[in-house]
Amino acid sequence: MSKLQALIFDVDGTLSDTERDGHRVAFNRAFADAGLDWDWSVELYGDLLSVTGGKERLTYYLERYRPDFQPPKPVAEFVADLHAAKTKHYLDILAEHGIPLRPGVERLLTEARESGLRLAIATTTTPANVTALLESVLPGKLSWFEVIGAGDVVPAKKPAPDIYNYVLNQLRLDPDQCLAFEDSELGLRSSLGAGLKTIVTINPYTTGQDFSGAALVVDNLGAPAQPIDIFAGNGFGSTYVDVDLLCKLFGRR
């Protein structure tokens, strides 16, 4: 059996809860700038998250919720421009107040590095968003991540496995040498599709989704003084997710 070599993390919803107060707000600011009276409520955004990728999500919104809307330019161009404005707002939001890492993330990343594990990112979000988030929550530590696979680097976004396959290829590792971390059903389908054992940390938008096939489903990564809730999988008696538990889940100590 292979030895555990690397951990591959999703970003939005997994490293930080960026969707509700980050991406959603940025979309709404871009709509206001463009003179559009669209408002993506917290609840509506839950439905829109059924499509990954900001441009793809905008296209879905137009088709499903604004079928009579006539864009002032070809729809792909309209969506691309609106999305570029949204990205600027998202970066502004990060600069304004930041969005903290989820519980246990920095601890596990630190422990993983100390154990010699390699780190990587596999996300559908725009590369600039990942860099800005990591620089704000882990200043000076961007280099912790050997590979950052993000956005349009692959044509098919999650739930397609392409972004995980891309990252594995860049790491020159096989899926049976890595573990993935996700927060959503679509993300899990992507990581499982690439053959990766996956740990899911749910969040308010993904509670109740189908996480069949995950190695472990928990509320967050926890801490020694902050025990986790385990919804599926074997926690091997651990009260939080550490490298020791990851090795047990991986199948080798």
Residues numbered 14 to 43 that lie near ligand XBP (CB under 6 A) are 19, 23
**With respect to Mg ion, which residue has the nearer C-beta, 165 or 238?**
165
Q: Tell me: does residue 187 bind ligand XBP (CB under 6 A).
A: yes
Strands 178-182 and 145-150, how do they pair? unpaired
Q: Tell me: does residue 238 bind ligand XBP (CB under 6 A).
A: no
The distance of closest approach from Cβ of residue 204 to ligand XBP in the complex, given in angstroms and rounded to an integer, is: 14
To the nearest 10°, report the CA torsion of 186, 157, 32, 101. 60
The distance of closest approach from Cβ of residue 86 to ligand XBP in the complex, given in angstroms and rounded to an integer, is: 6
Q: Active-site residue 21, yes or no?
A: no
Helix, strand and coil in the chain, % to nearest 5? 45, 15, 40
Stretch that binds ligand XBP, among 7-15, 66-74, 133-141, 236-244 (CB under 6 A): 7-15
The distance of closest approach from Cβ of residue 161 to ligand XBP in the complex, given in angstroms and rounded to an integer, is: 12
Contact 227, 213 (CB under 8 A): no
**With respect to ligand XBP, which residue has the nearer C-beta, 11 or 249?**
11
**With respect to Mg ion, which residue has the nearer C-beta, 87 or 125?**
125
Please choose, from the candidates 246, 166, 140, the residue with its C-alpha nearest in 3D space to the C-alpha of residue 198. Answer: 246
Q: Tell me: does residue 189 bind ligand XBP (CB under 6 A).
A: no
d(CA 121, CA 131) in angstroms, rounded, equals: 11
Contact 151, 127 (CB under 8 A): yes
Please choose, from the candidates 177, 178, 233, 173, the residue with its C-alpha nearest in 3D space to the C-alpha of residue 202. Answer: 233
The distance of closest approach from Cβ of residue 82 to ligand XBP in the complex, given in angstroms and rounded to an integer, is: 10
Strands of the sheet containing 197-201, edge to edge, are 145-150, 118-123, 6-9, 178-182, 197-201, 216-218, 230-233
Q: What angle do CA 112, 163, 14 make, to 5 degrees?
A: 50
**With respect to ligand XBP, which residue has the nearer C-beta, 128 or 232?**
128
d(CA 253, CA 247) in angstroms, rounded, equals: 5
- The residue sitting closest to ligand XBP, measured at its beta carbon, is 54
Q: Which residues bind Mg ion (CB under 5 A)?
A: 10, 12-13, 183-184, 187
Residues numbered 125 to 184 that lie near ligand XBP (CB under 6 A) are 125-126, 129, 158
The catalytic residue among 10, 17, 162, 242 is: 10
Contact 224, 241 (CB under 8 A): no
Number of residues that bind ligand XBP (CB under 6 A): 16
Q: Active-site residue 10, yes or no?
A: yes
**With respect to Mg ion, which residue has the nearer C-beta, 78 or 145?**
145
What is the contact surface with ligand XBP in residues (CB under 6 A)?
10-13, 19, 23, 52-54, 123-126, 129, 158, 187
Active site residues: 10, 12
